[in-house]
Amino acid sequence: MNPKNQSLQKSFLALADLVALNILNLTLLFYVNKHTTDLYLFTIFCIFSNLVWMICSYSSAMYQNNKLSNFRRLATKTLGAFIFYNCFLIVFAYVGLHKFTNTYIIFDQFGFALFLLISRLSYILFMNYLLNTSEYRKKIAFIGSNKNVTRLIEHFRENHGSTVIAGIFGESSDNNQGIPLLGAIKDCVSYAVENKINEIYSTLSPTTYPALYQLAETAEKSFIRFKFVPDLTEFAGQTGRIEFIEDTPVISLRNEPLADVSGQVVKRLFDMVFSSLVTIFILSWLIPILAILIKLDSKGPVFFTQLRSGKNNVPFKVLKLRTLSVNPDADSVQVSRGDSRITRLGAFLRKSNLDELPQFLNVLVGDMSVVGSRPHMLKHTLEYSQLFDNYMLRHYTKPGITGWAQVNGYRGEIKEPEQLRKRIEYDLWYAENWNIWLDFKIVYLTAFKTLSGDENAF
């Protein structure tokens, strides 16, 4: 779908949501004005509900341009934004409101939920109707059989059900995924004209196959759109991204949601709120108790600090509860299963992850995030960077107390290069696919694995 059309759909949905919310608020506000004199409070509520909905819908990336055609995603993101919107309203309801306002808020929630349900169903039905008409359905074909073709086929199958994949031109391979081979590359334009194919995607480089330039020109003259798909994986083994500065295309070697200011602000707000709640309601009473137990269990300080690699590989002091007896190898030798340096209480603290709790203070000061790649000792950073070329890429983001690699079983001692490779793979996937809902998911999975018992925790 054309990006301008997607942007128009985004603006229309966002505007329709806000208009409906305000019409609902004004209607109920008129009712309240007839039955109470506390009009000022409800005016504040209307402003509050607008701000909260904009924050929730924006944070969920509900109106993201290139995803509006994914109806399942739109429904999921709408539901997620609405749930968090309701949570904020419930909190507001318990802060100084009169009892009869509960009815007002229930009507507001029910009315807005009804609008969202009807509007999304109407949108999905309308788009399905358009995409299934002959005018909007299109046939496409690919040139080449490689990983890019595989990814494109998966994308069109998952997100563009109205698109018909005619086949592939070139040599047959395992990447075809059941898509028929249509013939040689030189025959692609003539075949496309005869079979009414609308678009041809070439995953081969014109520098390697100069004839593609002539084929592209011939296709355009026949009203067949010819598109080149650059392969960026040769640079960093990652999926690249193309942006535009004015009319100039700029190719980034990887997708980085947290490189945008908006993503950084959302993640920082999450970190501040979450770590503040943990500090106030858990650390304030639990740390003094654990401090006494640590002192009774073994000689040495309560806290253990160590230089670790942070964002952009800038060192910072990570804060932990001491779980080892005082020893000269603490900054150079990794803790292993059955390590004799682990104290009696330390074994429990490490198994339950309680030794990591002080790192929420690192989050508050901005050295760490709640979710990210786990920070390594400076010595290990140097060693690991020499083993894998893409290891240092994990330092583009702040390190975290927990992470995507950890909840997928890659935590603790690294004995084999494959364990490190998988940890890097999961860390980079997180950095390239970050969204606030993924952070919530990882926090939930961390809590679940901690309570159920993690065999890799020791």
Q: Give the separation between CA 89 and CA 37, rounded to whole angstroms.
A: 21
DSSP string of 421-440? HHHHHHHHHHHHH--HHHHH
For residues 411-419, give the mean pLDDT.
81
Q: Give the separation between CA 23 and CA 444, rounded to whole angstroms.
A: 36
Q: Is 277 exposed, middle or buried, given 0-12, 13-18 or 19+ CB atoms closer than 10 A? A: exposed
Given this model, what pLDDT does residue 286 score? 93
Residue spans of alpha helices (H) in 160-253: 188-194, 211-221, 233-236
| Between 328 and 98, residue with greater pLDDT | 328
Mean pLDDT: which of 24-38, 74-88, 285-299 is highest?
A: 285-299
Q: Give the separation between CA 42 and CA 45, rounded to whole angstroms.
A: 5
Report the percent of the chain where pLDDT is more than 90.
Answer: 28
Q: Sorting pLDDT into bands at 50, 70 and 90, what band is 89?
A: confident
Given this model, what pLDDT does residue 458 score? 47
Q: Is the pLDDT of residue 353 over 80?
A: yes
Given this model, what pLDDT does residue 80 score? 84
Report the percent of the chain where pLDDT is more than 70.
Answer: 81
H or E element in which residue 68 lies: none
Given this model, what pLDDT does residue 87 score? 81
Q: Which long-range contacts (CB under 8 A, 24 or more apart) does 342-349 make?
A: 342/458, 343/297, 343/298, 344/297, 344/298, 345/293, 345/294, 345/297, 345/298, 346/297, 346/298, 346/322, 347/323, 347/458, 349/290, 349/321, 349/323
Q: Sorting pLDDT into bands at 50, 70 and 90, what band is 321?
A: very high
Given this model, what pLDDT does residue 2 score? 47
Q: Sorting pLDDT into bands at 50, 70 and 90, what band is 164?
A: confident
CB 359 within 8 A of CB 351: no
Given this model, what pLDDT does residue 457 score? 58
What are the backbone dihedrals phi and psi of residue 380, each rounded to the nearest 5 degrees, phi first? -70, -35
Domains and CATH numbers, the chain: 3-131 (no CATH), 138-231 (3.40.50.20), 261-452 (no CATH)
Q: Give the separation between CA 79 and CA 72, rounded to whole angstroms.
A: 11
Which of helix, strand or coil describes residue 415? coil
Given this model, what pLDDT does residue 425 score? 92
Residue indicated by tokens 């945008």: 260
| Between 79 and 131, residue with greater pLDDT | 79
Given this model, what pLDDT does residue 161 score? 65
Q: Is 388 exposed, middle or buried, given 0-12, 13-18 or 19+ CB atoms closer than 10 A? A: middle
